[in-house]
Amino acid sequence: MKEPSTGLARLTGRRVVVTGAGSGIGKATAMLFAREGASVAILDLNYESAQATAKETGGYAVQVDVSNEDSNAAAIEKAAQAMGGIDGVVNAAGIMIVGPLGEVPVSSWRRTLDVNLTGTYLTVRNCLPWLNQAPDGATIVNIASAAGLLPNAPGLTAYAASKGAVVNLGRALAAELAPLIRVNTVCPGMVNTPMADGFRANVGNYALKRLAEPEEIADVILFLSSLQSSYVTGATLAADGGRSFH
């Protein structure tokens, strides 16, 4: 397992909303950002998990259903008030429903799009008034998936479609929100979280022959949220162990 960074203060003074931060990539990102000096708002549907991450990071726990317009707006308002503004967003909330095309209910298709795509859109939209006021420019990092770049396994129709849409949403946002706000997208391959259960045997399709740890994806998100990537916007970065080219 990757050893956690001790922090280089690369986000000192930054105020960042992280959705899906109760577990997985979102939690690893919130913890890394806190070590790097950021104030973090921990948004998650599971409030107990959000509270646990907030306790570890000194951040602010807020319960949210990112796909619900009212819930999302209220959560972002709480986060902005708690931190005194918002300078960055990491959209890590997501779900994956697996099953053959003819067997997955239309309601599951819609729920997948609602959380993964509409949830990302609503979070950005609701954060926008504060992001536009960020004194040193703002950043948005959306988490898509390698499956959104190259679907290569059965049963992922809804998930791959939603994550492919997140990739193009990021490009459209980057074009619209520049130059004040940089928008980039990260496409992880399989990560060592419960979402990878049932697919771990597919690691042979990866050039690096292993799953990523959540902390490794958090490092990529940190790069795109810091001044180290000050001339990067509209990029889609595949952090997938070589899956999408192998």
Q: Report the pLDDT value the prediction gives residue 80, as an integer from 0 to 100.
A: 98
Q: Report the pLDDT value the prediction gives residue 71, as an integer from 0 to 100.
A: 98
The domain ranges of the chain are 15-239
Residue 5's pLDDT band (cuts 50, 70, 90): low
Q: Report the pLDDT value the prediction gives residue 75, as an integer from 0 to 100.
A: 98
21-55, pLDDT tens digit by residue? 999 999 999 999 999 999 999 999 999 999 999 99
Mean pLDDT for the chain? 95
Q: Report the pLDDT value the prediction gives residue 202, as an integer from 0 to 100.
A: 79
Cβ-count burial 119-155 (b if 16+ within 10 Å, e if not)? bbbbbbebbbebbeebeeebbbbbbbbbbbbbbeeeb
What is 15-239's CATH number, 3.40.50.720, 1.10.3720.10, 3.30.70.270, 3.20.20.70?
3.40.50.720
Q: Report the pLDDT value the prediction gives residue 96, as an integer from 0 to 100.
A: 95
pLDDT at 6 over 80: no
Residues for the chain: how many in total? 246
Residue 165's pLDDT band (cuts 50, 70, 90): very high
**206 assigned to active site:** no
Q: Are 182 and 170 in contact (CB under 8 A)?
A: no
Q: Report the pLDDT value the prediction gives residue 4, as an integer from 0 to 100.
A: 62
From 47, 159, 206, 231, active-site residue = 159
172-215, pLDDT tens digit by residue? 999 999 999 999 999 999 999 888 787 777 788 889 999 999 99
- Residue 245 has a CB neighbour count (10 Å cut-off) of 9
Task: From residue 1, give the alpha-carbon distance in Å to each of 45, 157, 199, 243.
Answer: 27, 31, 20, 20
46-97, pLDDT tens digit by residue? 999 999 999 999 999 999 999 999 999 999 999 999 999 999 999 999 999 9
Q: Report the pLDDT value the prediction gives residue 78, as an integer from 0 to 100.
A: 98
- 5-19, 109-123, 181-195: range with highest mean pLDDT: 109-123
Q: Are 93 and 119 in contact (CB under 8 A)?
A: yes
* Of residues 91, 95, 19, the one with CA closest to residue 53: 19
